[in-house]
Structure 1
Amino acid sequence: MRIGILGNGNMAGALGAHWVRAGHRVRVGGRSPERAAELARQIGAESSGQLNEIAGFGDATLLAVPYGSAAEVVRETGGALAGRVLIDCTNPVGPGFVLTTAEGPSGARRIADASGARVVKAFNLCADSVWRHTPVAFADGPLAVPLCGDDEAALETVRALVRDVGGAPLDAGGLDRAGLLEATTAFLIGLWVGGHDPRTMLPPTHAMA
């Protein structure tokens, strides 16, 4: 599979390295050509390039930039994302662990509207340090990765990429539910920063029967 990565930070490197090891053709693009080239070298990607070039390269494209930069990065792709599979791992979370999207559309919906892409929200619940595990599995088994999207073909593409990092895809509904996933992330970040283990809030499945 051809995978384009927009961004040259931690999430881009963590996920991109998995996909390179899985045998995919990966290219990296960023607003800093030098940093994009360096990340491509570090993870063994095929090459780097301009944002619009990378956006038009992949069978799937990962948007791995801070949410505050996402709209501008999408604009700089010049429409190359229209109709393409776009994986949104951004988090519109601001100071105080609150959503910067307030009561409006989710970050994923805004990215979909701005890009015209078939957006799948995924990989946003955990920090890059989690995604650097090889594979992304722990004592209880593979890490479940919630996916929100409206296009079945796009979802199937992203499911395969989740499996390539060692995770287990978890269908979480359409893109209209991405805002719930973003809010969950904001809540969890607050717990983690406070030193709490979110797992202690949830009973085992059999207790819910």
Structure 2
Amino acid sequence: MSAEVTIIGSGRMARGLAQMALRAGRAVQILGRDGSQTRDLVESLGAGASGGIIGAPVEGGLVVLAVPYREVANVVRELGDGVDGRVVVDIANPVDVSTFDRLLTPAGTSSAEEVAVMVRGRAEVVKAFNTVFASTLESGSVGGQHLDVFIAGDSETAKEKVSALVAKSGMRPIDAGPLRRSRELEAFMLLVFGLQVSPAHENFNWDTSLRIFP
């Protein structure tokens, strides 16, 4: 059975996203750089998961870039025409983790918009999952409260596909508007990251998640 969701990366976010997709009943393909790590991840996920090395044929109609911002451009180049006709989901937060005090993207753009420029219309780009963290994705909730997933993109059809995956996994999709809203989603996480690493906020940690009430 071909995978419906292809996740690029084999780290903690890749694991959380894969478990979320499997919870939604979607078969998952994991493509990573480290063959051993990728294999271990696939085996731990069990039924519905398959894997390979980046460069292998992409199966999923949804391609999620579960890599740090500094790796996004290289991964998109390596995928090449493997993303053609698909929905590419950028989850990156371009935060300078040496200071947690600035974004690495130039003013007036975002990581997701940079991806859109790179794929040059060959794929639809959506921003999603940058406001949730790996451990919280695994369950889809924190303290009994479901997670909100903010989704930005210029294609309504592409956003609907990502929203359907989110909803099926038990979380709430929120349409944040066009792809340029990625700038605000990424900038907000600069604030959140700063709070998480600050000793003044000991109750904030990497399990922090965002939800709008009601």
Bin the TM-score by the shorter chain. Answer: 0.7 to 0.9
TM-score, normalising length: structure 1: 0.86
Counterpart-to-counterpart distance in 1, 2:213 and 2:80: 46
Within the candidate set 65, 83, 86, 1:84 is matched to 86
Q: Does 1:75 align with 2:77?
A: yes
Q: Is contact 1:15-1:165 (8 Å) kept?
A: no
Q: Is contact 2:140-2:147 (8 Å) kept?
A: no
Q: Is contact 2:64-2:89 (8 Å) kept?
A: yes
Q: Does 1:127 align with 2:118?
A: no
Aligned to 2:208: none
| Shift in alpha-carbon separation, 1:4–1:205, aligned structure 2, 3 A | closer
For residues 103-114 of structure 1, what are the structure 2 equivalents within 5 Å? 103-114=107-118
1:175 CA drift (Å): 0.3
Q: Identity across aligned pairs (percent)? A: 37
1:197 CA drift (Å): 6.9
TM-score, normalising length: structure 2: 0.84
Q: Secondary structure at the residue paired with 1:53?
A: coil
Q: Which runs of 4+ in 1 moved over 3 A?
A: none
Name the aligned partner's letter for residue 35 of structure 1.
Q
Deviations along 1:81-124, whole A, 9 cap, x unmatched? 12311111111110322110031521101112113421111110
Quick check: 42-51 or 64-73, which moved more? 42-51
Q: Is contact 2:146-2:172 (8 Å) kept?
A: yes
Aligned to 1:16: 18
Name stretches of at least 5 consecutive residues in structure 2 with no aligned partner: 205-211
Q: Secondary structure at the residue paired with 1:99?
A: coil
Aligned to 1:201: none
| Shift in alpha-carbon separation, 1:19–1:35, aligned structure 2, 3 A | same
| Shift in alpha-carbon separation, 1:165–1:205, aligned structure 2, 3 A | closer
Counterpart-to-counterpart distance in 2, 1:205 and 1:109: 28
Q: Secondary structure at the residue paired with 1:77?
A: helix
Aligned to 1:136: 141
When the two chains are superposed, the root-mean-square deviation of aligned CA atoms in Å is 2.2
| Shift in alpha-carbon separation, 1:193–1:154, aligned structure 2, 3 A | same
Quick check: 181-190 or 22-31, which moved more? 22-31
Within the candidate set 161, 167, 185, 1:163 is matched to 167
Query: Aligned pair count?
Result: 198
1:130 CA drift (Å): 1.8
Counterpart-to-counterpart distance in 2, 1:188 and 1:23: 31
Aligned to 2:56: 53
Name stretches of at least 5 consecutive residues in structure 1 with no aligned partner: 199-203
Q: Is contact 2:136-2:142 (8 Å) kept?
A: no
